[in-house]
Structure 1
Amino acid sequence: MKLILLSVVGLLLVVGEGTADRILSRRTKRELASPLHVGGIRDPFGSYCQRRGGCCPGRDDLCTVPYLDTICYCDLFCNRTVSDCCPDFWGHCLGVQPPFIGTCERNGNRFFTGQTYKENCNLCTCGTTGRWECEQHACLIESDMIRAVNRGNYGWKAANYSQFYGMTLDEGIRNQTTLPLYFNSVEKWPGKIHEPLDQGNCAASWAFSTAAVASDRISIQSMGHMTPQLSPQNLISCDTRNQGGCAGGRVDGAWWYLRRRGVVTEDCYPYRPPQQTPAEVGRCMMQSRSIGRGKRQATQRCPNTHNYHNDIYQSTPPYRLSSNEKEIMKEIMDNGPVQAIMEVHEDFFVYKSGIYKHTDVSFTKLPQYRKHGTHSVRIIGWGEERNFDGTSKKYWIAANSWGKNWGEDGYFRIARGDNECEIEAFVIGVWGRITMEDIYHIRHLRYL
């Protein structure tokens, strides 16, 4: 029975590949994608096709299952030279042993092909032959160097520091990069940093700051070929899982939505303050569908009927930075603006100019005059200001979402290095999910 099934599968694959040769000029993203299991099958004994409820004959681009941070396929087309099959495809759909599954030993434990562990600064991966394949970076902390120094008569002693362990020597040297006294993303990346918007009477800084940081990062990452101003309204109206829209929300939920569903631009889905928005406009007016490899495509036209470009923009998973001001500065200088969460006090609302620090002017008043809440902003740079006595005051340059009439043209400066209002406690960076194909598509639209 297995022989008959394998023969049928082989015939289907030959037909599929022959057809692909005839339409090579119209190959899809799926056909051009990299092999899913290039480093070995991850989660080799997971249930995917079985959990889906079965396999699909021939080619079916919708025959997919979520697989770690992407998707895998359960159609017979997946088992070709470039495989994107689910781990249990071979066993559940074909009744044969899956390929490339070996085991490696470490400290008495068994690891399967594709599984990894970190040895100081080097990542080791279990190979298909049962041997560990490890990177060969020079590490910042090397135990033999520490022992050699301590055995010798050099006049000083060496130690292992946990904050340096796991870093490469190159990373350690690079982290000593001299940072300038002043930096502004607007000046380094002209035309790629978006101006502050106005959230109005809507507690949705979680959506505005997320959309703004993603907009800037995509513009920088694409070298200006893509400069979308992403839609906060898309997040407010459509990201409703454990979110409160204009009643508040979580940035982790916003980043999940931007990664898994994606959003369109502000031009396509414009912001409508709640007091100006009819009830029917407040509902979600943009949906998307998967087109493979985690990418999405809009299934509805833009709510703005004068705009026809309903391209979906997505991000990778966000990453959290440490609260060290130097690390935050280096991240901004290298990769662009970051998102920060801060405590907003009663005096912040009346800020006009200068370097903000929470004051004690309301400390003697009744409790109802001393309130604070959580707010999300975008940090775009930093600087220092000299005092008359020769000392300096360090500050962050941040973009708010209260309109350009507030603060310093929509921006504000806040004390840096002292975690003022908790602004350095939770800082996030992200990458846009873009490819050369996306850039070509956007450039093509400009000339239509």
Structure 2
Amino acid sequence: MWQCPLGLLLLLSLPGHVALGAQQGRGRRELAPGLHLRGIRDAGGRYCQEQDLCCRGRADDCALPYLGAICYCDLFCNRTVSDCCPDFWDFCLGVPPPFPPIQGCMHGGRIYPVLGTYWDNCNRCTCQENRQWQCDQEPCLVDPDMIKAINQGNYGWQAGNHSAFWGMTLDEGIRYRLGTMRPSSSVMNMHEIYTVLNPGEVLPTAFEASEKWPNLIHEPLDQGNCAGSWAFSTAAVASDRVSIHSLGHMTPVLSPQNLLSCDTHQQQGCRGGRLDGAWWFLRRRGVVSDHCYPFSGRERDEAGPAPPCMMHSRAMGRGKRQATAHCPNSHVNNNDIYQVTPVYRLGSNDKEVMKELMENGPVQALMEVHEDFFLYKGGIYSHTPVSLGRPERYRRHGTHSVKITGWGEETLPDGRTLKYWTAANSWGPAWGERGHFRIVRGVNECDIESFVLGVWGRVGMEDMGHH
């Protein structure tokens, strides 16, 4: 009697369209390169075992998806070219696989081949030939150990992970998130304007610019990975001051991009710049609104050319200027140019800064940013000693500039009273206290009182008319 092979029986018993698929699969199966030739990359995986599959003879549907191909748990898989699932021999036959399992490293339940890599925060880990992981040892900008040490210490502030900083090295943070150059000695020697406090004049214990000038104090912008705090803090202070000094007739958010792209004399755009140069530009050339000339954002690609300047201005007489180009943002027509008067430096006594801030609006301050400042979540910041026991490369700092908006004082649970400044940063609203931070006042913490600038918005009578 004619013996019907098992495979054919299976084929005959299957409905038509499936049988067709099986036929195609059959051809493919004979031609497929053996999975083990490509290296079974997951020798420890559960395939046949997971599905409790072990089929006798040849059964094309006794198959499972495996690494973009198909592996089989039927006895036929071992015949010609092996396309068996990784655990077929072990689970179905109870014998060790006929080839050594792929050499690799385990991480997070996966086997990575030799030279495979994964990222651990800011460090790349590579699987070595000895099946050990080797990871870079760069200090990361977000350092969980440092966060823990700060939060366990009694420092007056809390640390946390700002997700935009995850995966960056500390080096990159210093390089791409700050961007104000220390002023030259001639600028540092700029004479200070002393504000005279009248005898018996008492300043309030707390003050906030946004309470005195509601709707005229602008929210912090985000400089991204552009080392342009020189342009962001300058535009931020000028925006508030133009709004205050025009009594709210003009309330522009001024354009940092206008400064980054057009103020190119001894300035380096997203690679850093000087405050005196930024204020000179605002006085002599002026800038448009952020709406008209939006931030183009610079990722960390330093090879690319800086975006060209898209906005120029010409004199109209009496020192005023007008734009000679349309707004780079084609949806906006208002290309008014805003200017300021010459910048002046305040005395570094906190009372003088307070009086100026209360009378004329927010001021600009230079500050030294240390490795722990990036982790600030809330409270009254002061630089902590948590990195002192670690190698030098964990302690980095660079110069930054911010907008001081007010002051106050707070009594801590242990009875200490801390006096502080409130300031706006330019790392977006998700960082710190809604984009702002508080920092110890009166002791020149992180140099914040060493170089403080004020300026007047250039506002003529015609600007006070109704637009």
Aligned to 1:229: 253
Instruction: Identify if the C-alpha distance between structure 1 residues 231 and 368 changes in structure 2 by more than 3 Å, giving closer, same or farther.
Output: same
Picking from 305, 319, 325, the partner of 2:330 is 305
- 1:296 aligns with 321
Structure 2 letter corresponding to 1:421: C
Decide which moves more: 214-223 or 171-180: 171-180
**Amino acid corresponding to residue 244 of structure 2 in structure 1:** I
- The one-letter code sitting in structure 1 at the alignment partner of 2:360 is N
The SS at the match of 1:275 is coil
Residue from 212, 218, 221 that aligns with 1:188: 212
- Residue number in structure 2 paired with 1:201: 225
| In 2: Cα distance, 1:302 partner to 1:175 partner | 50
Distance, in Å, in 2 between the alignment partners of 1:204 and 1:352 is 22
Q: For 1:287, which of 312, 316, 323 is the aligned residue?
A: 312
1:258 Cα offset (Å): 0.2
CA separation in 2, counterparts of 1:413 and 1:237? 31
Give the aligned CA root-mean-square deviation in angstroms. Answer: 2.0
Q: How big is the shift at 1:275? A: 2.9
Deviation at 1:176, TM superposition (A): 4.1
Q: 5+ unaligned residues in a row in structure 1: which ranges? A: 1-165
1:148-163 equivalences under 5 Å are none
Q: Structure 2: which 5+ runs fail to align? A: 1-192
Query: Residues 83-102 of structure 1 correspond to what in structure 2 (within 5 A)?
Result: none
CA apart distance, 1:438: 2.0
Partner SS state of residue 432, structure 2: coil
Sequence identity (%): 65
Matches within 5 A, 1:296-335: 296-335=321-360
User: Per the alignment, do residues 172 and 216 of structure 1 end up closer, same or farther by CA in structure 2, a change over 3 Å counting?
Assistant: closer
User: Who wins on radius of gyration, i.e. which is larger?
Assistant: 2
Select 1:253's aligned residue among 252, 274, 277: 277
Shift of 1:409: 0.3
Superposed CA offset, 1:310-361 (max 9, x none) = 0000000010001000000111111110000000000000100000000111
Query: TM-score, length-normalised on structure 2?
Result: 0.57
Query: C-alpha distance in 1, partners of 2:306/2:444?
Result: 40
The CA deviation string for residues 4-42 of structure 1, in whole angstroms up to 9 with x for no partner, is xxxxxxxxxxxxxxxxxxxxxxxxxxxxxxxxxxxxxxx
Number of matched pairs? 274
**Structure-1 separation of matches of 2:366 and 2:288:** 24
1:220 aligns with 2:260: no
TM-score, normalised to structure 1, is: 0.59
User: What CA distance in whole angstroms lies between the structure 2 residues aligned with 1:362 and 1:378?
Assistant: 27
Which residue number in structure 2 is paired with residue 375 of structure 1? Answer: 400
> In the TM superposition, what is the alpha-carbon distance from 1:439 to its structure 2 partner?
2.8
1:20-419 pair list within 5 angstroms: 174=198, 176-275=200-299, 282-419=307-444
Correspondence for 2:457:
432
SS, match of residue 246 in structure 1: coil
Ranges of 4+ aligned residues in structure 1 off by more than 4 Å = 276-281
* Cα distance in 1, alignment partners of residues 197 and 442 from structure 2: 22
**How far has the Cα of 1:295 moved from its partner?**
1.2
CA contact (8 A) 2:226 2:300 kept: no
CA distance in 2, matches of 1:337, 1:212: 9
Once residues 322 and 413 of structure 2 are traced to their aligned partners in structure 1, the CA distance between those partners, rounded to angstroms, is 57
- Deviation of the 1:222 alpha carbon: 1.0
Letter in 1 for 2:295: Y
Distance change >3 Å, CA 172–CA 340, structure 1 → 2: closer
Render the CA deviation track for 1:192-218: whole Å, top value 9, x for unaligned: 000000000001000000001011011
- 1:371 maps to amino acid: R
Which one-letter code corresponds to 1:347 in the other structure? D
For the residues of structure 2 that align with 1:410 and 1:183, how far apart are their CA atoms? Answer: 18
Q: Which has the higher contact order (CA 8 A, sep 6+)?
A: 2
- Residue number in structure 2 paired with 1:8: none
Residues 285, 181 of structure 1: alpha-carbon distance in 2 compared, 3 angstrom cutoff: same
Letter of the aligned partner of 1:363 in structure 2? L
User: What is the CA–CA distance in structure 2 between the aligned matches of 1:172 and 1:249, rounded to whole Å?
Assistant: 32
